[in-house]
Structures are given as C-alpha cells and as structure tokens.
Amino acid sequence: EVQLVESGGGLVQPGGSLRLSCAASGFTFNVYNMNWVRQAPGKGLEWLSYISSGSVTIYYADSVKGRFTVSRDNAKNSLYLQMDSLRAEDTAVYYCARGYRSGDLWGQGTLVTVSS
Amino acid sequence: QSALTQPPSASGSLGQSITISCTGTSSDVGGYNYVSWYQQHPGKAPKLMIYEVNKRPSGVPDRFSGSKSGNTASLTVSGLQAEDEADYYCSSYAGSNKYWVFGGGTKLTVL
C-alpha cells in the first residue's frame, strides 16, 4: 500500500525540542520531493519545509527558519523534521506530503502540543 | 492571515453545482499554473483533488474541476453529493521563498 506514516509527536514544554519522522512505503521514496505542512487546531494549512529527492534543495517557511531542520534518509525511506526552540504557536498537527508543486500523497498527521 | 483568500463557507443542495474562489497575487496564483485544491474531511488528512489548475488525479470524480483567471482560481463541484461536504483548501506555488501558500479554507455544506 502506498502510504506515509508520521510519528514522534507529543507534549513538549516551550523551548523544548522534538523530532518527527515520516515513514514512506509502497513507492520509490528516493525519487520524490517531500514537504512538511502543519495545521493548528481549528485553523488552515501552513507549509513549513521542502526537501528535494536527493536533499540538494531545501526551503523553509519564515515562521520556522532557524528553528526547524528537515532531512531525509533514502536508505530508510524516511523523512524527518527536527524542531527546536518550540513555542506555543507551534502546536499543530504535522503532516508530511509527497510532491513538488502539489502534495499528491499525505500522511495521517502527528499532533505536537507545546505547553507547560 | 492566509496568503490566498477563500470564502469561509459555501453551500449548495444535492445535485447542484457550487464554485469556490481563491484569490492571490501575481506572485503566486497569477504567476504560475501550479494551483492545487485539497479536500479535507474532519479529522482526516488533506486529499489532492485538483493540481496544475485543472488536472484531476486518478480516482477523483470528474464532478470536480478547476480553472484560473488572472490572480483568481476557482474550484467547481458539479452534481453535489453528501460526501462532498468537507473543507476545501486552495494552494499555489509561490517561488522558492514561500514555496507553497494556502488559502484559509472553505467549509462546504451540502444541503
């Protein structure tokens, strides 16, 4: 089955760190560009980061630049998002999404809650 | 505040057609033919319904269609069905600085 499965979410204190993972299966992961997108409770979608298939090109939204780091391990069919200096406003469901100009495959999301 | 502007809500009766607009600028919607539309049911992940303005992924009913004029894109759902009731988000490529920008979402109610 073609799917993406996120993990690593949870409750973290402000200023803390968390590492999200996205496991890909059912397709050739190493030829696809990948993205992270989040959705705060009751809010809309916000693109966070893009990484090309070979990790050569990486982009970040201004809201997370300098705090979040995207990476991937094509040998493990996995995408990662290292999140540091977390703030209350980072509370959201985090999705990984496959694609270049649009996301044609999304995971089910993992909830990150930043609170003391 | 979202980069793209969508009406917060829309409604239509079973079998009718509805159009949802998505207004951006020449730096996103108007500058690229990379407008996408996503459907999201409560508690579920977004699902791609339209990409590159008017293309449908395999498996998406042809009741869903997309178009663009200038800085405004539109999603039309024809022959509304109960399962079409969901939130719909537009998105556009906006260059390497902003990459993907999204609209605030439109809650579609099927009466």
pLDDT in tens, B48-103: 999 999 999 999 999 999 999 999 999 999 999 999 999 999 999 998 878 899 99
Residue B1's pLDDT is what? 79
Find the CB nearest B36 among A44, A102, A107.
A102
Average pLDDT over residues A39-51: 96
Residue B97's pLDDT is what? 78
- Chain B residues 68-97 with a CB less than 8 Å from chain A: 89, 91, 93, 96-97
Cβ distance A59 to B99 less than 8 Å, yes or no, reads yes
Best of B100, B102, B106 to substitute, by most chain A Cβ atoms within 10 angstroms, is B100
Residue A14's pLDDT is what? 98
Residue B3's pLDDT is what? 87
CB B27 within 8 A of CB B4: no
3-state secondary structure of A98: strand
Q: State how far the Cα of B109 lies from the Cα of B111, in Å rounded to an integer.
A: 6
Residue type, B3: A
Residue B101's pLDDT is what? 96
Residue A50: its chain B contacts at CB < 8 A?
99-100
Spatial neighbors of B26 by CB under 8 A, at least 6 apart, are B71
On the question of pLDDT at A65 being above 90, the answer is: yes
Buried b or exposed e, range B2-25, using 16+ CB within 10 angstroms = bbbbbeeebebeeeeebebbbbbb
Q: State how far the Cα of A47 lies from the Cα of A29, in Å rounded to an integer.
A: 20
Task: State the nearest Cα–Cα gap between A89 and chain B, in angstroms.
Answer: 14
Q: State how far the Cα of B89 lies from the Cα of B101, in Å rounded to an integer.
A: 10
User: Tokens 């993992």 — which residue?
Assistant: A110
Residue B100: its chain A contacts at CB < 8 A?
35, 37, 47, 50, 103
CB A111 within 8 A of CB A18: no
Task: State the nearest Cα–Cα gap between A116 and chain B, in angstroms.
Answer: 25
Residue B96's pLDDT is what? 83
Residue B13's pLDDT is what? 96
- Kindly state the greatest CA–CA separation across chain B: 41
On the question of pLDDT at B2 being above 90, the answer is: no
Task: State the nearest Cα–Cα gap between A108 and chain B, in angstroms.
Answer: 5
Cβ distance A104 to B51 less than 8 Å, yes or no, reads yes
